[in-house]
Amino acid sequence: MEFIKELWQFLKVRKKFWMLPLIIILLFFTLIIVFTAGTAIAPFIYSIF
């Protein structure tokens, strides 16, 4: 939780709000890869990349 607080403070202080969508998209793709690694969906996910 501390990392998220520090990241938010960094974005707020440095006015780097444009980085927020990039972080969210990367987190989303990471979760998709982690949760579908052992399923039948995995070949379709890996073909995207």
pTM higher than 0.85: no
> 14 with 20: CB under 8 angstroms?
no
Determine how many CB atoms are found less than 10 A away from the CB of residue 11: 15
Residue 43 clears pLDDT 90, i.e. is over it: no
Cβ-based neighbours of 7, under 8 Å, separated by 6 or more: 23
Residue with tokens 């998709």: 32
Please compute the mean of the pLDDT values over residues 1-12 and round it to a whole number.
88
Give the pLDDT score at 34.
79
Output DSSP code: residue 44: H
> 45 with 33: CB under 8 angstroms?
yes
Give the pLDDT score at 22.
92
Give the pLDDT score at 38.
65
pLDDT for 10-41, tens place per residue? 888 988 888 889 999 999 988 887 777 766 66
